[in-house]
Chain A
């Protein structure tokens, strides 16, 4: 499968615990995005990487959230001290800078339930 891969697909955690999600973008895609989606809503932008540099963060990304892309390939999104309001699907997406069509491709998402 050469699409965007996310792991785990589902995570149930207790309030206050830390969770980490991993994203492997499409090979050679240098731009990587994280979005969050709650039920009945469209995805909302969280943050963006170009290669290993994190170039933009949404105000939705509180201090409890941190994202990394250490070698410009895979990325991780960590949520510390989870709260019930963090329950959502976390989507990773990637695109190739300058690619024809300018298409952003999404992974299958990581569902987080905070109990």
Chain B
């Protein structure tokens, strides 16, 4: 069964303090790994898709990387507006629906 585990569950940083969020996954065959941002009471907002080990993508202060077993979301010099829950999800090759299997998320708080 496809599984996604995110760590830590919660992370509190000072503004400007860089860090990384981890997403470990097991999947029969990876079609894609997705990162979403979710603000309280709202739906997930798409950030990145990674398809193969070694791939990296960047957006503003965020950079996502992928290996065969895990993905990292690196946050450089974060600002308070980066506070949110970050969700990781995998899409398996053998799933006809290509549904996403999500981790439980990492709740990130950036203090000013």
A residues with CB within 8 A of B: 4, 6, 31, 33, 40-45, 48, 55-56, 91, 101-109, 111
Contacts and interface: CB of A to CB of B under 8 A. Distances in A.
B49 interface: yes
A107 B41 CA distance: 11
23 contacts: A4-B43, A33-B97, A40-B104, A42-B4, A42-B87, A42-B104, A42-B105, A43-B44, A43-B100, A45-B99, A45-B101, A48-B97, A48-B99, A55-B97, A56-B97, A102-B91, A103-B34, A103-B46, A103-B49, A104-B100, A106-B46, A107-B43, A108-B42
Contacts of A104: 34, 46, 100
Given A41-B105, A45-B99, A103-B46, 17 more contacts: A31-B97, A31-B98, A40-B105, A41-B104, A42-B4, A42-B87, A42-B89, A42-B104, A43-B87, A43-B100, A43-B102, A44-B102, A48-B99, A91-B43, A102-B32, A105-B46, A106-B45
A42 to B, nearest CB: 3
Contacts of B4: 42
A103 B57 CA distance: 15
Grouping DSSP codes into helix (H, G, I), strand (E, B) and loop, the B interface class, with mixed when no group exceeds half, is strand
Contacts of A55: 96-97
B9 to A, nearest CB: 8
A106 B87 CA distance: 13
Nearest to A108: B43
Contacts of A41: 104-105
A106 B47 CA distance: 12
- B interface, size bucket: 20 to 34
Contacts of A111: 41
Contacts of A109: 41-43
A56 B31 CA distance: 18
Residue among A41, A48, A106 facing the most chain B CB atoms (10 A cut-off): A106
